[in-house]
Structure 1
Amino acid sequence: MTSLSRGRAAAIGLIAAGSALAAGHLVAGFGDPRTSPPVAVGGAFIDLVPPGVKEFAVALFGTADKIALLTGMAVVIAALAVAAGLLSRNRVLPGALIIGAFGLVGLAAALSRPEGAALPAVVSLIVGVGVFAGLHRLGSRPEPTEFERRRFLATSGLVVVGAGLAGVAGTTKQSGTATSQQQVAARLPKLPAPAIPAGADFVADGTPPFLTPTRDFYRIDTALVVPRLRAEDWRLRLHGMVERELDLSFTDLLNRRLESRTITLACVSNEVGGNLISTAHFVGVPVCDLLLEAGVRPGAQQLITTSSDGYSAGTPVDVLLEADRGALLAFEMNGEPLATRHGFPVRMVVPGLYGYVSATKWLVDAEVTTFDRQAYWQQRGWSQLGPIKTQSRIDRPQRGAQVPAGPVTVAGIAWAQHTGIDAVQIRVDGGPWQPAELATDVGRDTWRMWRARLDLAPGEHVVQCRATDRTGTPQTEARQGVIPDGATGLHEITFRCG
């Protein structure tokens, strides 16, 4: 048997790995997209990593954390595939074992996930080892003729094309909520959105617009592949410590009492000064109505809501039963059906609580229970309750900016959802606190914009901001990271005038 060249050996490893992933992805496309081998491995990785690693990824990559994970996985897979090829220049066994071992990792990951489907991983394993062995045999014949060289290249090319087509076909099979969203759009009730008064933002001075366009609304969740549910198939079971179980369809929701609310949502992973916060109009069914209809039994403490991908969040029942809380099972966002990435067809929205205890997307189950049962993030050491903390942020000037000396406008946002913002102050270079101008107040469940006019001399300056909520309590200056219940501390920026 002829020893393979390094280039040919590496190519065989890469082609085999790519074919394995594509085949598994195609099979998953005919069933559950979450069982695609790279998705299963990535999901298992997300579930197993310590909270600190997850927070580091969010802090480093923000809403691109999943892209970063998939990119990192691709690099690792490619490196292993190349290694498999190079170790098999003289015989097929070492590389076949590496490809097979990687397939077994995918199988173990698939079996560890809630969906527990092994077929895509098994197909991936068989295809990967088979392609590796077949191409290795073709490429390592002694004294190959020109015909055999061309046959190897042609076979390799056909495998690459086939793998590409399989990957595309698998992805195409996994899409398909657009028609359902269009049908929902035609059925949405014409419930007017709350009016946004003039002067609610200071966009010209550098704040974000008061309402966040849906395309710009932050997204942080554990779903490596966005679940794709159809409204016509959707059902929600409300059960547990209740007098009467409820089994609801999407039509049932549309026929109930609905509310339209403007709500600012914030992620517990938001660092001081971070951008994991957005505001939108939501329409949905009050959660309080459903709980009262079901009849919550004495001793109940939380409502655990579960996503179609197995993620769960535990929301305190006493919060959901507050008549003025405004918690919703939302199906409309900014006048349209929920975007798929934001939880279509139905998600939970609870003003005043961080998303990890309240904002379950792709909602399919709700169980009234006690705190003895832990939801996804509580199992990983996060706090049980998750009320949003009073915070503020400077949006302009940006950190490290160079601005003309003299009149300078500093602008930003502040938030204390379900309490409201009463004041914002800024401090320049450690001097006294001075009041900022507040934008028009929209409500206690939304952020509030602010700005201040300063006259600054040439040189470097440090500006801090501090918000005070409607109880008269200023945000704390004590610095704390996001774990276990949200970051605290004052946002500050350094910039230069001149």
Structure 2
Amino acid sequence: MATTEAPAAPSTAPPRLRIPSAALCGVLALFAALAAGHLVAGFISVNASPYLAVGNGAIDLTPVGLKDFAVRTFGTYDKVVLLGGMAAVMVAAAAVAGVLSLRSPRPGVVIVALFGLLGGFAVYQRPDLTAVALLAPAASLVVGVAVFLLLHRIAPRKSPPAEGSGGTSRRSFLLGGAGALVGAGVLGGAGRLVSGTRDATASRAAIGTLVPAKSAPAIPADADFAKLGTPTFLTPNPEFYRVDTALSVPQLRAEDWSLRIHGMVERELRYGYSDIRNRPLVERTITMTCVSNEVGGDYVSTSDFIGVDLAGLLAEAGVRPGAEQLFCTSVDGWTSGTPVAAAQDRGRGAMLAIGMNREPLPLEHGFPARLVTPGLYGYVSATKWVVDIEVTTWKARQAYWLKRGWGEQAPIKTESRIDTPKGFDTVPAGAVRLAGVAWSQHNGIANVEIKVDNNPWQRTTLSTEVNVNTWRMWWTQIAVKPGTHQVFVRATDKTGYTQTDERAGTVPDGATGWHSTTFIAT
């Protein structure tokens, strides 16, 4: 007798999303969340944007060695690489969140919410933001979850949804996804426009030309050998090196800026921009160097800085005995510790600078005001966008880089560099021109020598010295036979110290070693 099987019971499991649709739900929800946070941040502070807050947090948590590697490898593009890497990771995580939500939106909602909470924690940790800034990550969380739930509900399933399940057609999902994408673009653009209303560009333009009461001496014509392959003596503002932790350039208008000097002083003082500009301004030619500069690196530049004596401002406040450092804070919360002795040394010429090369400071170089202390690496001496100086001791406060193992005093080391020929350049055999630059700020360069292959050291011709706080160019001509040649350079400063050939990295207080280059004579 034939038997028949009973029909299978209908599945009670909800129909699954298609994997591409599910991944798209997560990615579009991420875009919408970030755009909403960026819009709200536009009304508060650009650093309240969850994306930037997480990026700034990542910078703060990055180990010193890895951070130094990033600066060395990517140079001024290190922040672009960081933001790009963050974006790739976030998009991948959002896509995974969507894929984990093929049947239920719950996993995706949890992951999107975690993104929002991470942004909130990053904003909360920012020293330059108040509690109101938490509205930006809150907006990200709400919008991100809402968009994910909406897209998940209308996304096409693998099998036709049961009646009343809320499923819709592929067209509805495409329209919803397009709407989310366009909405994210509109919100992000609006956030950019809103934050742009506080852009400091117009404020900087309104300052006009800065004319010092005491100008720096004119730069002699033979202060550089630019025609022979060295840099120009003064570095044009757009070419001046930039190394800092700011993911977005602070937008602080001159009319909103003030500097507070307090702590171990007789009188707490506060200066506005007009208080500084209306004083007799002084102009000084100073070479600055970053501690992240590798041997032979280009994180060294020279400018005519305009401002007022830092020592004079400290004298007005009345520094108390026992004070050791100026704990300086930027408007974005970054801190540095400058030795009080260096800041008070009028012979050194530390400045509160408001101009570079007769222009107001460029935004990326500290507008409205920054510190410049000749002879010390920038991480202890050159706070950009400075708004607060606390006179204190080393024990009482630790600045950003000191907490991460860098040196306390940070005098710039005597170094030299070969600029021409470049590595593995091909040159005609016979007379070959070599040229480069050396620096030992606040000591001055006495001589520069080069060594070709295994031949003895020989002196080079130095440019005219501008002052001991600036770099000095050199050049020479040698005769070489066809073949591959290696040339080394070393400098001796005016204290009699000749730079060592011992190689050391930038951590904790600057690199050492002879720079060399290899070229081919044909």
Both proteins in one fold, TM over 0.5: yes
Aligned residue identity for 2:272: S
Q: Out of 60, 67, 85, which is 1:47 matched to?
A: 60
The sequence identity of aligned pairs, in percent, is 54
**Partners in 1 of 2:431 and 2:516 — Cα distance?**
19
Match of 2:466 in 1: 442
Q: Out of 316, 335, 346, which is 2:369 matched to?
A: 346
What SS is found at the alignment partner of 1:22?
helix
Q: CA deviation at 1:173?
A: 2.4
Match of 1:482 in 2: 506
1:349-383 deviation line (CA, Å, top 9, x unaligned): 11100000010001100111111121111111111
What SS is found at the alignment partner of 1:445?
coil
Q: CA deviation at 1:128?
A: 1.2
**Partners in 2 of 1:174 and 1:440 — Cα distance?**
47
Q: CA deviation at 1:90?
A: 2.7
Match of 2:228 in 1: 205
Q: Is the contact made by 2:215 and 2:282 (CA closer than 8 Å) also made in structure 1?
A: no
With the length of structure 1 as denominator, give the TM-score of the two structures.
0.97
**Partners in 2 of 1:191 and 1:164 — Cα distance?**
51
**Partners in 2 of 1:5 and 1:456 — Cα distance?**
70
Structure 1 residue 288 corresponds to structure 2 residue 311: yes
Q: Is the contact made by 1:331 and 1:338 (CA closer than 8 Å) also made in structure 2?
A: yes
What SS is found at the alignment partner of 1:155?
helix
Which structure 2 segments of 5+ residues have no match?
1-13
Match of 1:119 in 2: 135
1:317-364 deviation line (CA, Å, top 9, x unaligned): 111111211111111111111111111100001110000001000110
Aligned residue identity for 1:331: I
**Partners in 2 of 1:464 and 1:370 — Cα distance?**
42
1:396-407 correspondence to structure 2 within 5 Å:
396-407=420-431
Q: CA deviation at 1:186?
A: 5.8
Q: Out of 83, 92, 115, which is 2:96 matched to?
A: 83
Aligned residue identity for 2:20: G
Root mean square deviation of aligned Cα: 1.7
Match of 2:10 in 1: none
Q: Out of 477, 481, 500, which is 1:457 matched to?
A: 481
**Partners in 2 of 1:341 and 1:14 — Cα distance?**
33
Q: Is the contact made by 1:425 and 1:466 (CA closer than 8 Å) also made in structure 2?
A: yes
1:233-281 deviation line (CA, Å, top 9, x unaligned): 1111111111111111111101223210111110001011111111111
1:27-74 deviation line (CA, Å, top 9, x unaligned): 111101111111111111111122111101111111111111111111
Match of 2:144 in 1: 128
Q: CA deviation at 1:188?
A: 5.7
**Partners in 1 of 2:419 and 2:22 — Cα distance?**
52
Q: Out of 65, 74, 82, which is 1:61 matched to?
A: 74
Aligned residue identity for 2:151: L
Match of 1:417 in 2: 441
Match of 1:178 in 2: 201
Structure 1 residue 143 corresponds to structure 2 residue 166: no
Match of 1:273 in 2: 296
Aligned residue identity for 2:245: T
Q: CA deviation at 1:430?
A: 2.9
Match of 1:18 in 2: 31
Structure 1 residue 218 corresponds to structure 2 residue 235: no
Q: CA deviation at 1:448?
A: 0.8
Structure 1 residue 38 corresponds to structure 2 residue 51: yes
With the length of structure 2 as denominator, give the TM-score of the two structures.
0.92
CA 1:457/1:97 → structure 2, altered by over 3 Å: closer, same or farther? Answer: same
Q: Is the contact made by 1:419 and 1:445 (CA closer than 8 Å) also made in structure 2?
A: yes
Q: Is the contact made by 2:211 and 2:281 (CA closer than 8 Å) also made in structure 1?
A: no
Structure 1 residue 160 corresponds to structure 2 residue 181: yes
**Partners in 2 of 1:326 and 1:91 — Cα distance?**
67
Larger radius of gyration: 2
